[in-house]
Amino acid sequence: MFDDSCYMEPLHLAGRLIMENGGETCRVEETVLRMGHAFGFREVECFAVPSGLFVSYRKSDGTIETAVKRIRRKGIDLTRIDEVNAISRHLEQEKMSCQEVLSQLKAVERRPSRLSPLQMAGAAAMSTAGWSLMFGRRLPRGVPPDGGQPPGRGAGCRSGRRGRADAHAARLGDDERCAGHHAWRYGIGHFLCGQRGDVGGAACCRRTGGHGVPAPADGRCGMSYEPLGQGLWYFLTSFVGTLGFAILLHAPKRAWLPASLIGAMTYTLYWSLKQLSLDEAASMFLAALFGSLLAQFCARKMRMIATIFLLLSVVALVPGLGLYRCMEQLGHQQYALGAQTGILTMAGILMMALGIGVGSFLFKLVVSGTKKIMPGGKQK
Q: State pLDDT tens for residues 81-99.
A: 999 999 999 998 887 888 8
How would DSSP label each residue in 265-305?
A: HHHHHHHHHHHTT--HHHHHHHHHHHHHHHHHHHHHHHT--
Q: Is residue 190 part of a domain?
A: yes
Reference 250, options 102, 118, 78, 37; nearest CA is: 78
115-152, pLDDT tens digit by residue? 888 888 999 999 999 988 887 644 444 444 444 444 44
Domain that holds residue 331: 251-371
Domains in the chain: how many in total?
3
178-190: average pLDDT: 39
Distance CA 262, CA 248 (A): 17
Q: Count the alpha carbons within 13 Å of 141 in the hemisphere toward its beta carbon.
A: 5
Q: Are residues 257 and 356 in the same domain?
A: yes
Q: Is residue 380 part of a domain?
A: no
Single residue among 110, 129, 149 that ends a domain in this structure: 110
For the chain, percent of residues with pLDDT exceeding 70:
72
Distance CA 258, CA 296 (A): 12
pLDDT exceeds cutoff 50 at 187: no
260 neighbors 242 (Cβ within 8 angstroms): yes
From the CB of residue 2, how many other CB atoms can be counted at a distance below 10 Å? Answer: 14
Q: Which residues pair with 47 in a beta bridge?
A: 54
125, 251, 281, 306, 346 from 300: Cα distances, Å:
31, 16, 29, 8, 31
The model's confidence at residue 6, banded by pLDDT at 50, 70 and 90, is confident
pLDDT exceeds cutoff 90 at 155: no
102 neighbors 6 (Cβ within 8 angstroms): yes
**Beta carbons within 8 Å of 284's beta carbon, 6+ residues apart:** 270, 317, 348, 351, 352, 355
Q: How many residues does the chain have?
A: 380
Q: Are residues 174 and 68 in the same domain?
A: no
Q: Are residues 28 and 85 in the same domain?
A: yes
Q: Are residues 79 and 157 in the same domain?
A: no
348-360, pLDDT tens digit by residue? 899 999 999 999 9
Q: Where are the alpha helices (DSSP H) in 116-249?
A: 117-134, 162-172, 183-193, 227-248
Q: Is residue 296 part of a domain?
A: yes
pLDDT for the residue numbered 4:
66
Reference 186, options 228, 221, 237, 232; nearest CA is: 221
Q: Is the pTM of the predicted complex or chain greater than 0.85?
A: no
Q: Are residues 322 and 367 in the same domain?
A: yes
265-313, pLDDT tens digit by residue? 999 999 999 999 898 889 999 999 999 999 999 999 999 999 999 999 9
Q: Is residue 101 part of a domain?
A: yes
**How do beta strands 64-70 and 44-49 pair?**
unpaired
pLDDT exceeds cutoff 80 at 173: no
Please provide the average confidence, as pLDDT, over all residues in the chain. Answer: 77
Distance CA 269, CA 290 (A): 8
